[in-house]
Amino acid sequence: MTLVNLAQVLEPARRVGRGLAAFNVIQIEHAEAFAAAAEKVSLPVVMQISENCVRYHGSLAPIAAATLAIADACHQPVVVHLDHAEDAGLVEEAVRLGLTSVMYDGSRLSDGANRAETRRVVGLCRAHGVSVEAELGEVGGKDGVHAPGVRTDPGEAARFVADTGVDALAVAVGSSHAMTERTAQLDTELIAALRHSVPVPLVLHGSSGVADEGLAAAVRAGMTKVNIATHLNQVFTRAVLDRLENAPTVDTRKYLGAARDAVADEAARLMRLLATA
């Protein structure tokens, strides 16, 4: 296996203009699907566990242990990443458990407090070889916290990176979380300006709402890490419904297995798309 931190795969991808796919783990089948996809296309992958997912399971340790074990068995580089963590204590737990990357979300804090706490998180994580992603210019749709229509200013983004020392920066360029239709229009001129101004790789959240052409254009403009969750949840759910409609069963392995296979196929397709944009 090759369990790596985010910087180890993100910076090389940035240098050559290649996109890196990041997918959310909710059930163990998701992690299995993403590992299978990485093996199929011979590309690195980011497996993300969100703070919302931790709340769903009741704690981080069980889903983290399962994801780390699956990553350990994968022959491609895998980042196991804590996504959208607002609780700094959860970040500290993720580091103890062996996750290799975290995304700290200080959007509920004042600007000064956000920068100070992000800088503290970076210091903690760097001491353990763990990468840190942060967000500036709130991406819409995240539990009502983020204001729709906000865009990240390139100069402000550069100052935020300098102040905090983060390894990657999520920016607001027109996407929104939890979109079920792929209709979002990204500002590729802003992406290019951010790529020119910001010295670390850029991250696109809310990518499920962006069509294939928009994702490819975003990578060409300078986006590197691309987070996709809701779209794959739709794929998972459709596969479960189709399996139960066409071949009813009470064996959960049958319909969850069908969903796992469908997600693996779509994840592999998206990984190729982003890597060859």
Of 238, 239, 221, 225, nearest to 270 by C-alpha is: 225
> Count of CB atoms within 10 A of residue 62's CB?
12
The position carrying tokens 């963590």 is: 85
Written as six digits, the tokens of 259 are 């969903």
Residue 12 CB contacts under 8 Å (≥ 6 apart), including other chains: none
SS3 241: helix
> Count of CB atoms within 10 A of residue 248's CB?
9
> Count of CB atoms within 10 A of residue 166's CB?
24
SS3 124: helix
- Please confirm, yes or no, whether 163 is among the known catalytic residues: no
Of 72, 83, 105, 265, which one is the catalytic site residue?
Answer: 83
**Do 84 and 133 touch, CB atoms closer than 8 A?**
no
The Cα 66–Cα 148 span in angstroms is 35
Buried/exposed code over 91-109 (b: 16+ C-beta within 10 A; e: otherwise): bbbbbeeebbbbbbbbbee
Return the active site residues: 83
